[in-house]
Structure 1
Amino acid sequence: MKRVNIATNQVGFVIKNNMVQRVLTVGKYWLGFGEKLELHDMGKQFQSVYDIDVLLQTAGFADTVHVVEVPDAHICLVFVNANFVKVLAAGRYIFWKSLSNYRFMMQDISTIAISPAVERNLLERAELAGFVRQYKLEPAERGLLFVDGVFKEVLEAGIYTWWKNAINIAVSKIDIRVLSIDINGQEMLTKDKAQVRVNFFVRYQVVDIMRALLENKEHERQLYTLMQLLLRSYIGQWTLDEIMEKKDDINRFIGAEAAVQAARLGLEIHFCGMKDLILPGDVRDIMNQVLVAEKRAQANIITRREETASTRSLLNTAKLMEDNSMLFKLKEMEYVEKISEKISTISLSGNGQVIDQLKQLFSKS
């Protein structure tokens, strides 16, 4: 006989003939002949060389452990004293019922939905990285969720998490901000067969996500092609001279037509306009020559107009002076004043008075 003592947070296996006969918890006990004691610390991980199923049949053992059975397509979150410590995959697990408080949260991962009971911060832990998939939509983005190829719902901006399993998840996202397209270097023929190159600009926004992503493929590329066709349609129905005169009308025409067509793509046109209308080199030179000739003709007309006005003014002045001697005298004095301004020195001689000499100088001969 042998007396043994089992301390707090210890468990003793009574072994006889290499088999566990019974399980002892805290207290003092006597061991019989041929029996020996195997002590286990309940504060440490459970380890035993004996078969678990046999141990569970041993008296007292089931009362000292937590037996956690995790089925296939499930995981178990383990908390010790309210703190998350690990994740258990499918299988059987044994934990000592020590002084620590254990809590086990079973989760079915055969579906993609994560239970609200699993806190968001836990999904960010490294221990769960292999079981969780995450997708983020920026504030200016929206998305369509497809599960196994089937559309499920429209996703707003935010962070989404799903269980990682055999179910296929795809998210098609789109930017809902106002975007722009440059349609550059479009070579087109006018009605009179003149070749021009057009640079065009379009600002648009996605307003119907279902149409843009679900009902149409590559909506941006379709919009680009649509603008090309509208430009060609408009340019082709006017001559080069008419296009030069109607440049402002292009924006209104294209904008109105594009708005109707873009709505079928789930888009809204905010603004569109022609940036450049580039002419071939020879046509540009001819137009420059025409412009120079027009400006010269305008300058000649203005010159002739001014000359005619000046002559008419002189004629009117002459008629007035002819009928009014006083006006003639005033005009004469005006010219004398202008002449005097150009004379720097006047020399006077003789015995006459200065005023008389000046009168003689400027009097009629």
Structure 2
Amino acid sequence: MWNSFYIKPNEIGILYHRSDFKRILQPGTYNYFGRHWRVEKYDLNQAEAEIDNLELLLRTRAAELNPHLLIMQTGFNQVALVQYGQSWLTILPNQTRAFWRGFLELQSHTFNLDESLELPQEFVERIRGISLYGVKKFQIAESEIGLLYVQNNFVRPLEPGEYAFWSVNRDVAVRTLSQIVPNPDFPQEEVLMEKHPEFVANYCQVVQLEPDKVAIVRYQGKVISILPPASRKLFWRGVEIEIVDISSDPKLPQNLVAELAINLPNAVTATQRCLHVCEVSAQHVGLLYINQEFQQLLEPGIHAWWTFGRSWKTPVFDLRQQNLEVSGQDILSQDKVPLRVNLTAGFRIVDPLKAENGLSDFTNYLYKELQFALRGAVGEKKLDTLLEDKGAIDKSIADYIREKTSEYGIIVDSVGVKDIILPGEIKNILSKVVEAEKAAQANVIRRREETAATRSMLNTAKVMEDNPVALRLKELEILERIAEKIDKIQVNGSLDSILTDLIQINR
């Protein structure tokens, strides 16, 4: 029994009898007698030869296989790159792989992982844009520095450029830091300073401070960081460091106050946790307490101190005249009339130290004492007395409050009741009382005027009785009034006849 096998031009075959390797078959037709012949065909367009029992065949038939195959074998610490045509393939450690020769151009490169994990630059350029298993590629921009870590341990810095590393059975990572930012967040900063002094010396500047020193770090003339005492930190090279001794005087000179606390937003942000700033306005005064102890009065201006190792308190007091309103106080008068009273007081602080040390809240204290004084003054008087003499209330309150506040450095210049608000029903009653009083007064005045008018008329009559000329003049006055109310008058005869007729008509 004959078996015929055809190998195409793009194929290669391996002849087996039963399961024994016999030979490699090139393209063509082959005939064999017997039933147990078989041929495994391989497409040469697929570069890798996936042959069963490859390692056994290499030990027994290597001389027959080597002319047709590129054999790649890697050790436990080796990897390889195989290029076939435009494609690349990685071979991991402890592997045996075979590739057909002749149909595609083959190149192989073996790398020892114990010597270096980094691929040479020529390979980095050749595999650009190609994703390979077991290879990690990194791009470091021109404004960056890369830090290479293997198994989370720093290895070395990477300058701007392209890099590729084998990550077989190892964790390879690159952390990029901007060189534009002078104080980047260095990973594991303390480890870098302790175990990698060469990197620190070549790329960084270390600031390490004693317990009584503070560092101001500037870059291109701008404040970028404030370092507290007994600290250390890494910066890129090129920063300026100013060391300030705060052991004896923690107050900042005016040039640093202007730079760190006033003008520059970036500086204020960097120093907001490092400085205690107090602004004292004109006509104000500040008190400086360090570690709960009073130190001095603060004149108007901006003051700043380093906060490290000390506690600070700087209350500011207004020395100008101030007003305090005590409004809506519901109080019963002595005759049990409910009233709502509004009070205003003018005061000045003349001794801020007494006010601060003696009172936790002088405004609240003054408000409550005015309440007490107002209740006492109103509750001791009847409603009529309160309405007739508000000044007495003011004087009573002023005497009370001045005695209370004098020991705390506060002078009360003026006290006055603004409003006394009565309930609605009391208002109605008082309105009726006032209305009755005014009506009685109006009645008395009206009677008095009527009496005076009657007495005047009697006197006039006596004058006319004794003096006919006066009577005649009065008649003329009456005639004038009548004439004012008549549109047209026709006179016949003399004026004397007219008056005689008018008198006769009236009779």
TM-score bracket, shorter-length normalisation? 0.5 to 0.7
Q: Aligned residue for 1:362?
A: 502
2:246 is aligned, of 100, 109, 112, to: 109
Conserved? CA contact 1:75–1:87, under 8 Å: yes
How do residues 1-365 of structure 1 correspond to structure 2 at under 5 angstroms? 70-76=209-215, 106-110=243-247, 113-114=250-251, 116=253, 119-124=256-261, 126=266, 129=271, 131-346=274-489, 353=493, 358=498, 361-362=501-502, 364=504
The sequence identity of aligned pairs, in percent, is 31
Alpha-carbon offset, residue 171 of structure 1: 2.0
Conserved? CA contact 1:133–1:164, under 8 Å: yes
Conserved? CA contact 2:329–2:341, under 8 Å: yes
Q: Which amino acid letter does the alignment assign opposite residue 250 of structure 2?
A: A
Alpha-carbon offset, residue 291 of structure 1: 0.5
Q: What secondary structure does 1:184 align onto?
A: strand
Alpha-carbon offset, residue 104 of structure 1: 7.2
Change (3 A) 1:84 1:224: closer
CA deviations on 1:219-264 (whole Å, 9 max, x unpaired) are 1111111111111221122211111111132223322332232222
Conserved? CA contact 1:79–1:86, under 8 Å: yes
Larger Rg: 2
Which deviates more, 118-127 or 142-151? 118-127
Distance 2:233 2:482 in 1: 126
Which deviates more, 326-335 or 66-75? 66-75
Which deviates more, 103-112 or 302-311? 103-112
Conserved? CA contact 2:279–2:301, under 8 Å: yes
CA deviations on 1:47-102 (whole Å, 9 max, x unpaired) are 9x9968xx9xxxxxxxxxx9997534324568999999987775699x99xxx9x9
Q: What secondary structure does 2:408 align onto?
A: coil
Conserved? CA contact 1:71–1:91, under 8 Å: no
Q: Which amino acid letter does the alignment assign opposite residue 177 of structure 1?
A: R
Alpha-carbon offset, residue 198 of structure 1: 0.8
Change (3 A) 1:288 1:195: same
Distance 1:192 1:81 in 2: 80
Which deviates more, 132-141 or 292-301? 132-141
Change (3 A) 1:193 1:81: closer
Conserved? CA contact 2:257–2:302, under 8 Å: no
Q: What secondary structure does 1:327 align onto?
A: helix
Change (3 A) 1:229 1:115: closer
RMSD: 3.9
Change (3 A) 1:278 1:103: closer
Distance 2:322 2:366 in 1: 12
Change (3 A) 1:312 1:172: same
Q: What secondary structure does 1:197 align onto?
A: strand
Q: Which amino acid letter does the alignment assign opposite residue 214 of structure 1?
A: N
Distance 1:85 1:227 in 2: 52
Conserved? CA contact 1:109–1:164, under 8 Å: no
Change (3 A) 1:285 1:259: same
Q: Which amino acid letter does the alignment assign opposite residue 361 of structure 1?
A: D
Distance 1:209 1:230 in 2: 24
Distance 2:503 2:300 in 1: 101
Alpha-carbon offset, residue 111 of structure 1: 5.2
Conserved? CA contact 2:252–2:306, under 8 Å: no
Q: What secondary structure does 2:308 align onto?
A: coil
Q: Which amino acid letter does the alignment assign opposite residue 371 of structure 2?
A: Q
Conserved? CA contact 2:351–2:409, under 8 Å: yes
Instruction: Calculate the TM-score normalised by the size of structure 2.
Output: 0.50
Change (3 A) 1:123 1:83: closer
Alpha-carbon offset, residue 140 of structure 1: 4.3
Distance 1:117 1:209 in 2: 25
Which structure is higher in RCO with an 8 Å CA cutoff and minimum separation 6?
1
Alpha-carbon offset, residue 358 of structure 1: 3.2
Change (3 A) 1:165 1:69: closer
Count of residue pairs the alignment pairs up: 299
Which deviates more, 145-154 or 76-85? 76-85
- Flag structure 2 segments of 5+ consecutive residues without an equivalent: 1-192
Conserved? CA contact 1:259–1:269, under 8 Å: yes
Instruction: Calculate the TM-score normalised by the size of structure 1.
Output: 0.68
CA deviations on 1:152-186 (whole Å, 9 max, x unpaired) are 22222221221231222122233333222211121
Distance 1:143 1:264 in 2: 20
Conserved? CA contact 1:144–1:153, under 8 Å: yes
Distance 1:86 1:172 in 2: 28
Q: Which amino acid letter does the alignment assign opposite residue 109 of structure 1?
A: I
Distance 1:80 1:197 in 2: 65
